[in-house]
Amino acid sequence: MKNTVAGVDYRFTDSQLLLEALTHKSAGSVNNERLEFLGDSVLSLVITGRLFELRPDAREGDLSRMRARLVRGVTLADLALGLGLGKHIRLGEGELKSGGFRRASILADTLEALLGAIYLDGGYAQCQRVITELFDPLIDKLPSCEELKDAKTRLQEWLQARARPLPVYTLKSEAGADHAKTFYVCCELSDDGTTVEASGNGRRKAEQAAAARLLQILQEGQGS
């Protein structure tokens, strides 16, 4: 039975732990859900410490946004994909036929489970080393603290800096089937009546799109 995964610099003493980490719940009752839970916590702790060390001038809110960018599902899935983790995952017949080894959520969960298994097999220091090797290149490529803020936050800070009232978001309409709805949102400033509309496949996404559009208008109008 194998005791390593290509792309991950760690050799398991207990190969059963590795097998469990690579087993999706669709493949049996002994699967990686518990290891995923553990790995998620260890990953968050290591990334928190790494950001605290590497970004000494970052404020708490900035550190939180950086951590969220690193440990979010899409980042983990991309990392797992780059490691070729999908070809090692043990899936049930249904998931296998539907291409589960390419599904972002399964890839992300499996990577977390693998980290949890490394923690149990080799201890915190070994798990920390593996996480550092995998994530330091991503930390180096993080956008600026300002770019990491979502559009609504950036719009709010821009307005507050100029003592202007906060925008009002109003859901104007929804369209489409329940599983594929499009939301149309209006974002308005009460002090001058500036209004923009935007859409998205979720209300929050529509609000973010409207905020980004309004912020662009405001910045272009004042040159800042």
Band of pLDDT at residue 144, cut at 50, 70 and 90? confident
- What's the rounded mean pLDDT across residues 208-219? 91
pLDDT of res. 173 = 94
The predicted-structure confidence for 30-55, as pLDDT tens digits, reads as follows 999 999 999 999 999 999 999 999 99
Do the Cβ atoms of 15 and 22 come closer than 8 Å? no
pLDDT of res. 143 = 83
| pTM tops 0.85 | no
Task: Report the share of the chain in percent with pLDDT over 70.
Answer: 98
> Is residue 112 annotated as a catalytic residue, yes or no?
yes
Band of pLDDT at residue 80, cut at 50, 70 and 90? very high
pLDDT of res. 67 = 95
Active-site option among 20, 95, 109, 112: 112
**Residue reference for tokens 């995964």:** 5
Active-site option among 20, 36, 40, 109: 40
Band of pLDDT at residue 101, cut at 50, 70 and 90? confident
Q: Is the pLDDT of residue 223 over 70?
A: no
Return mean pLDDT, the chain.
92
Q: Which amino acid is at 58?
A: A
Do the Cβ atoms of 131 and 43 come closer than 8 Å? yes
**Which domains occur in the chain, in start order?**
15-143 (1.10.1520.10), 151-222 (3.30.160.20)
pLDDT of res. 1 = 53
pLDDT of res. 68 = 92
> Is residue 53 annotated as a catalytic residue, yes or no?
no
Do the Cβ atoms of 61 and 142 come closer than 8 Å? no
